[in-house]
Chains A and B, each alone.
Chain A
C-alpha cells in the first residue's frame, strides 16, 4: 500500500540555519504530495503542496519539489526562526482516493 517515510527527529538547529527534512514515498499512480505543520496543542496546518512531478510548492520561506525519479519531497528553508519550532508531517493523497497517508512526523527545535 501507499506509505510515506520521514527522517527521524528531533532536528535541532540554531536560528538562521538551513533546514532540510527528508521525505520519500511509495505509491502507485500519481499522488499529490503535502507538507503539514503541527504546533503544540494544535491541529495540522497545510504548509505547502505539489500535485505533479517537478512542481515546487512554497510558503512562508519553505519549499519542496516533487521528484518522481527519486520518489521524494524534501522540505527546505534557507533560514529558520525560533517560531518554526513544530512537528512537520509529509503526506500523500493518491489519485481517486480521499485519504491522506502521513509520515510519522519530524520534530524541529530551533534555538535562539
Chain B
C-alpha cells in the first residue's frame, strides 16, 4: 500500500523563477493538503484540495497556487520565487468521508531558492 509520494525530493531554483511540486496521495485518499515547513519551524498550512477545488487556504500570497487532478494527485505552483520561499514543502492526504481522518504526510520536497 503506497503512502504519500512527492516529487522531486530536492530542487534548487533562482529568485524570480517558477516551480511546480507534485504529490500523489495515499491509495484510497481523496483530499490533499499542502504545508510549508521553514527550517526549525512547524509546518504552516498553505491550502487544501478536494474534488479538484481549493477548499481552504492559509495565509499565503497568490503566488502560491495549486491544482488537483481527477486521480486525486495534486500540484503546488509557486511563481516569482523569493529567498524566503526556501523550505520543506509537505503534502498530506486524507479521506473526506472519515470523520477525524488523520493526515498522512509525504517525505516532502526540499526547495532552495538562491
Contacts and interface: CB of A to CB of B under 8 A. Distances in A.
Nearest to B91: A43
Interface in A56-112: 89, 91, 93, 97-105
Interface string B84-110: 000000101000000010111111100
B4 interface: yes
Interface residues of B, number: 24
Interface stretch (B40-48, B63-71, B74-82): B40-48
Contact of A99 (B42, B45, B90, B104): B45
Give chain A's interface residue range (CB within 8 Å of chain B). Answer: 20 to 34
A51 interface: yes
B107 A49 contact: no
B100 A97 contact: no
The A interface is mostly helix, strand or loop, or mixed, namely: strand
A105 B40 CA distance: 8
Nearest to B90: A43
Contacts of B106: 43
A99 B58 contact: yes
Given A32-B100, A43-B106, A49-B102, A102 B56 contact: no
Contacts of A101: 45
B90 A98 contact: no
Interface of A: 4, 32, 34, 36, 41-46, 49, 51, 89, 91, 93, 97-105
Given A89-B43, A104-B41, 13 more contacts: A36-B105, A42-B107, A43-B90, A43-B107, A44-B43, A98-B31, A98-B48, A99-B33, A99-B48, A99-B58, A100-B33, A102-B43, A105-B42
